[in-house]
Structure 1
Amino acid sequence: MTHPFMDADGDKLREECGVFGAINAEKASAATALGLHALQHRGQEAAGITSFDGHDFISRRGLGHVAENFSSPEAIAELPGTMAAGHVRYSTTGGAGLRNVQPLYAELASGGFAIAHNGNISNAQSLRKDLVGKGSIFQSTSDTEVIIHLVATSRYPTVADRLIDALRFVEGAYALIVMTPTGMIACRDPLGIRPLVMGRMGDAVLFASESVAFDVVGAELIREVEPGEIIFVDFAGEIKSLHPFGSRPARPCIFEHVYFSRPDSTFAGHSVYEARKAIGKELAIESPCDVDLVVPVPDSGVPAAIGFAQQSGLPFELGIIRSHYVGRTFIQPSDSARNAGVKRKHNANRALVAGKRIVLIDDSIVRGTTSLKIVEMMREAGASEVHFRVASPPTANSCFYGVDTPERSKLLAARMELDAMREFIKADSLAFVSIDGLYRAVGAKGRNNACPQFCDACFTGDYPTSLTDLAQTERKSDELPFADRSPTDSRAA
């Protein structure tokens, strides 16, 4: 689903959300708010925090940035207790609106139950239909609420066992932080598609989508939550770990290295910043360019451009200056408004690029519209040649695991071959890093096609789980008379 808080053309992939949790922390909600600030890049549409004071669960949720909702002492004071969990989100499955802002909360037979979820359940609609048929009443359109109803209807005796039972029905990607009256539960899907890490701050145990959140709150990174692992932490500080789903080869999302994670985070045991520099070096080896300057498309293209420049021996220069005070850009109805939106965010460093042959380095090309405008901007600034290099393989497939992706028909790489893509963005040359080059940059020898080390479905179309809702949607579409068919989003609805 395209939402109103994307770039001017919806021309960047957006992570659905970020999660943070703290238990046995003196000021749990304050730590959670600070952690969410560090994860703001993972979701800028809405933010929420739920705390537990030993008796009651208290929630505060709002549309907008973390600072708009949790920057005042009064807002934090409304969320007392030594346990809290928070969430920042973009809307993919479920759409926008306050009722879908997490953590979601419900009163179960066993007491309060709050859940924050990063990811996407690819059989949520099928499960929801079955639950509604049995009498469940949903309060949101979020796929996350399916987990609450599965827990509520499970016949196992403890909340922990009910959660495990519920997750056995779930397919897709999830990193969860759950709060109950007895403590906090953190878990990750069996393939580890979405990230989740564990930290410590004094007696407090913390969980977060990225390690950078621990740096900001002054906590120590302990380790990643393992794929398929469920960790229980109680108010006495006891930590228990289970692996109830068996052992499968992990498939973490490789796009965390390319774009989603902050460069000062670590992911899958590697520095994200160093991985992005290494991708740039692989790109320079595979697709060298005879130019005067290496110019990053800010900010996400900067580390890869540094690596490209170091490997090729070319000068690295800031030929594009980005304004950091534009704020969120709403989708605009006309080409002139869209162009103005891009120029408010990026402006050519005319004195530097005029008369120069340049190579632009960006993290990805999605629809291609922003790439086209940036190339045109460089030519208008007087660049004699404009080449384009991309620090990821062509994005030719939609994601169904918690990333807001345009439908496949709108992805440039799904519609065009390489030379047609080059003509579309009006570059003198265009090249992407290879899938093996990407794998080498993140510490592998190359892609093991028989057992890939990452989820790379957006590049390869090799989805690591079943896609039940998508299959059912496509089957229904095939059953419609031709005249009744209309274009639909290829994402799970």
Structure 2
Amino acid sequence: MNGTNHTVATNTRMSDAIKHECGIAMIRLRKPLQYYYDKYNTPTYGMSKLYLLMEKQHNRGQDGVGVANIKLDLPAGSRYISRYRSIAEKPIQDIFEKIGKKYNKANKTNPEEYMNAQWMKENTAFTGEMWLGHLRYGTHGKNSIENCHPFLRQNNWKSRNLVVAGNFNMTNVDELFERLVSLGQSPKDKIDTVTVMEKIGHFLDMEVQRLFDEHKEDYDNIAINKVIEENINLQEVLANSCKDFDGGYAMAGMAGYGGAFVARDPAGIRPAYYYADDEVVVVASEKPAIKTAFDIEYSQIKEIPAAHALIIDKQGDYKVVPFTNSLPKKPCSFERIYFSRASDPNIYQERKDLGKLLIPQVLKAIDNDLENTVFSFIPNTAEVSFLGMTEEVENYLVNERLAAIQRYSNDVEAMKKVLSFRPRIEKLVIKDAKARTFIADDAHRDQMVAHVYDTTYEVVQKEKDTLVIIDDSIVRGTTLEKSILTLVNKLSPKKVVIVSSAPQIRFPDCYGIDMSRMKEFIAFRATLELLEETKQSHILQEVYQKIKENEADLTQENYVKAIYEPFTDEQISDRIAKIVTPAHMEAEVEVIFQTVENLHKACPEHTGDWYFTGNYPTKGGNRVVNKAFKLFIEGSEDRSY
């Protein structure tokens, strides 16, 4: 995704959708193309595998999709790069149906050549050895074909052609733009997708020119192309291109001559995994997509390390090499909480652990009264953490039963009652409409929110039961107030406990999730109210002044942390509960958030927590949060990146 066209999750949730990063898929066929035709008895092997990789990552983007294909070793005059992009209602299906029609036409018009790889390559689009796919969501009304990856940088020299797609955000787009201008370029857009592609393209051009100058005395203009293509150093191209990048990225590229790369940011913020055997090299944003598409074990899938690139040469050989200096590894924890598919066994267990670790807080909130408590969840994203939460309730009950056996050893009926008790689990909230709540118009958003969910009646003891309802996160709180709490109020519970398996979101994200404006966060709004109530609003001006004084360089410190320091997590949670409670709500409402400490216990390998703590993995993050706060104080609706 790029600086103006970030992506958004369609799953409507308690807090409105958190806006989502993208997905990538790459396949490089390593053997001669005829090998796949013969072994799999079809010309569609590469296309079918890319379709599976993308379909199994459709959670990462359903508004816009793009596919590019490169054919190797075609003679001059042959079209060797094909690309389709789509913003149709079902864009993955739309693109692959169009590609499939190319194959069907070839089979219908020249059936005798349909299994001839060379003929297909010369006469049918999307029949090459290199595939790159991308998925995105469109936000801010920006969902046009032009915003869909992959992007092309075209040239008459094969070695200078570049196809780029990525899951990324740069925090220093202005700086990167100025660098391009200083190189003599005049980029058509000031967005990070263009600046990234043009910067890589510039240094690819430089590498080609270096090799041309080095060998021009020894070869003619035709022969020198082969020398250049066999000696291009993509590792060096990336080292020169990316040294100024500040952001989170998993960036995929294919060059027209047959080289390819996937580069991962220095802190490992955005995910990238690969699998290789003697037939293919495959890359995707999520492990389950690779496992499903190629029917392999999870242990065969490897992670591209932070600050490293998977590089594939023209012959199909690959290596994983460093291309920039690494930072402390901080992979995005939201990948584990929400974005990635829970069919990954590690993510599945981590989400269950997130639910389990909330139980001490939940038991306190219900005063250990399990008999009059109903547990439920918001479909569909919180289901796994809900399973973990209810499992931990069962574990708690084991100890309670042991104690009861001793306490009621002479009372068979009492013991039977205790031993047969089970937690009450109901599906109270039902997703009733495929409606989206990220509509820009607030008034229409509220109308949509009110009708996204329905509820189940007659399973709650009126004015006696407490409802415990879990979701993966709470961002804005709009859906809570306008839909969820309004709905469950009709059930007349005694109390409602809203549980978030993620901690309080307090700070903007700038590395791939589109959470950019401070005022959108319910935790920020709650803190503002607390500052005013405790007569500490002067802290806002003090922070603003520090930002103004250091405006020349806002990368050194996150000054915004200071506004949260006067209050405990519980104080902010209590105020959030007041904010989201509808005026007509009769039941008591309590809101519980995951602690940062327990987040790290559940997801020990994914320590990226800047949206919760303000501890950004790159200096550019500090610039973004400080700018976001400054824009808020000044009443500006501009974005901070």
The normalised TM-score by structure 2 is 0.68
In 1, distance between residues paired with 2:624 and 2:251? 25
2:273 touches 2:304 (CA, 8 Å); kept in 1?
yes
Cα pair distance change 1:201/1:425, threshold 3 Å: farther
Instruction: Look up the SS of the partner of 2:167 in the other structure.
Output: strand
Q: How does 1:58-97 map to 2 (within 5 A)?
A: 58-64=82-88, 65-72=90-97, 74=100, 77=103, 78-91=125-138, 95-97=142-144
| Structure 2 residue 125 is the aligned partner of structure 1 residue 17 | no
In 1, distance between residues paired with 2:137 and 2:195? 18
Cα pair distance change 1:98/1:121, threshold 3 Å: same
The alpha carbon displacement at 1:333 in A equals 4.1
In 2, distance between residues paired with 1:460 and 1:476? 15
> Cα deviations across residues 442-480 of structure 1 (Å, max 9, x unaligned)?
247xxxxxxxx62211000111102289469949979xx
2:153 touches 2:201 (CA, 8 Å); kept in 1?
no
Residue from 355, 362, 373 that aligns with 1:292:
373
2:258 touches 2:314 (CA, 8 Å); kept in 1?
yes
In 2, distance between residues paired with 1:362 and 1:405? 18
Structure 1, unaligned runs of 5 or more = 445-452
Q: Find the counterpart in structure 2 of residue 369 from structure 1.
A: 478
The alpha carbon displacement at 1:90 in A equals 2.5
Cα pair distance change 1:410/1:398, threshold 3 Å: same
2:373 touches 2:466 (CA, 8 Å); kept in 1?
yes
| Structure 2 residue 267 is the aligned partner of structure 1 residue 191 | yes
| Structure 2 residue 618 is the aligned partner of structure 1 residue 465 | yes
Greater Cα shift, 89-98 or 141-150? 89-98
| Structure 2 residue 609 is the aligned partner of structure 1 residue 456 | yes
| Structure 2 residue 433 is the aligned partner of structure 1 residue 428 | no
Q: Find the counterpart in structure 2 of residue 279 from structure 1.
A: 354
Instruction: Look up the SS of the partner of 2:358 in the other structure.
Output: helix
The alpha carbon displacement at 1:196 in A equals 0.4
Greater Cα shift, 379-388 or 358-367? 379-388
Cα pair distance change 1:151/1:471, threshold 3 Å: same
Instruction: Look up the SS of the partner of 2:473 in the other structure.
Output: coil
Cα pair distance change 1:330/1:413, threshold 3 Å: closer
Q: Find the counterpart in structure 2 of residue 448 from structure 1.
A: none
Residue from 290, 296, 302 that aligns with 2:383:
302
In 2, distance between residues paired with 1:174 and 1:315? 44
The alpha carbon displacement at 1:143 in A equals 1.0
| Structure 2 residue 293 is the aligned partner of structure 1 residue 217 | yes
The alpha carbon displacement at 1:76 in A equals 6.7
> Cα deviations across residues 395-433 of structure 1 (Å, max 9, x unaligned)?
011101010114112210112122210012226211111
In 1, distance between residues paired with 2:264 and 2:295? 21
Cα pair distance change 1:192/1:431, threshold 3 Å: same
Residue from 340, 344, 347 that aligns with 1:261:
340
Which structure's residues are more often strand, by fraction?
Answer: 1
The alpha carbon displacement at 1:133 in A equals 5.2
Q: Which amino acid aligns with 2:599?
A: L
| Structure 2 residue 489 is the aligned partner of structure 1 residue 413 | no
Q: How does 1:97-108 map to 2 (within 5 A)?
A: 97-108=144-155
1:117 touches 1:174 (CA, 8 Å); kept in 2?
yes
The alpha carbon displacement at 1:329 in A equals 5.7
In 2, distance between residues paired with 1:381 and 1:83? 56
The alpha carbon displacement at 1:250 in A equals 1.0
Q: Find the counterpart in structure 2 of residue 171 from structure 1.
A: 246
The alpha carbon displacement at 1:130 in A equals 3.4
Cα pair distance change 1:76/1:401, threshold 3 Å: farther
Residue from 177, 184, 194 that aligns with 1:128:
177
2:435 touches 2:448 (CA, 8 Å); kept in 1?
no
Q: Find the counterpart in structure 1 of residue 117 from structure 2.
A: none
Instruction: Look up the SS of the partner of 1:144 in the other structure.
Output: helix
Instruction: Look up the SS of the partner of 1:278 in the other structure.
Output: helix
> Cα deviations across residues 327-351 of structure 1 (Å, max 9, x unaligned)?
656627464x545533543211123
1:212 touches 1:264 (CA, 8 Å); kept in 2?
yes
Q: Find the counterpart in structure 2 of residue 153 from structure 1.
A: 202
Q: Which amino acid aligns with 1:38?
A: K
Q: Find the counterpart in structure 1 of residue 160 from structure 2.
A: 111
In 1, distance between residues paired with 2:250 and 2:311? 14
Which structure's residues are more often helix, by fraction?
Answer: 2
Q: Which amino acid aligns with 2:373?
A: D
2:8 touches 2:514 (CA, 8 Å); kept in 1?
no
Q: Which amino acid aligns with 1:352?
A: V
In 2, distance between residues paired with 1:60 and 1:211? 25
The alpha carbon displacement at 1:79 in A equals 2.0
> Cα deviations across residues 185-221 of structure 1 (Å, max 9, x unaligned)?
1121111000000024761111000012113313434
Indicate the structure (1 or 2) with the bigger Cα radius of gyration.
2
In 2, distance between residues paired with 1:228 and 1:49? 26
| Structure 2 residue 448 is the aligned partner of structure 1 residue 331 | no
Cα pair distance change 1:49/1:294, threshold 3 Å: same
Q: Which amino acid aligns with 1:36?
A: M
Structure 2, unaligned runs of 5 or more = 31-35, 37-44, 75-79, 104-124, 211-231, 367-371, 395-422, 527-571, 582-587
Greater Cα shift, 326-335 or 253-262? 326-335
Residue from 48, 63, 69 that aligns with 1:45:
63
The alpha carbon displacement at 1:34 in A equals 2.2
In 2, distance between residues paired with 1:475 and 1:265? 35
Q: Find the counterpart in structure 2 of residue 393 from structure 1.
A: 503
Cα RMSD, aligned residues only: 3.0
In 2, distance between residues paired with 1:408 and 1:354? 39
1:16 touches 1:92 (CA, 8 Å); kept in 2?
no
Instruction: Look up the SS of the partner of 1:165 in the other structure.
Output: helix
In 2, distance between residues paired with 1:475 and 1:438? 25
Residue from 464, 469, 474 that aligns with 1:360:
469
Q: Find the counterpart in structure 2 of residue 249 from structure 1.
A: 328
In 2, distance between residues paired with 1:476 and 1:334? 21
Runs of 4+ in 1 over 6 A off after TM superposition: 1-5, 7-10, 475-478
Q: Which amino acid aligns with 2:245?
A: V
In 2, distance between residues paired with 1:393 and 1:363? 9
1:119 touches 1:403 (CA, 8 Å); kept in 2?
no
The normalised TM-score by structure 1 is 0.87
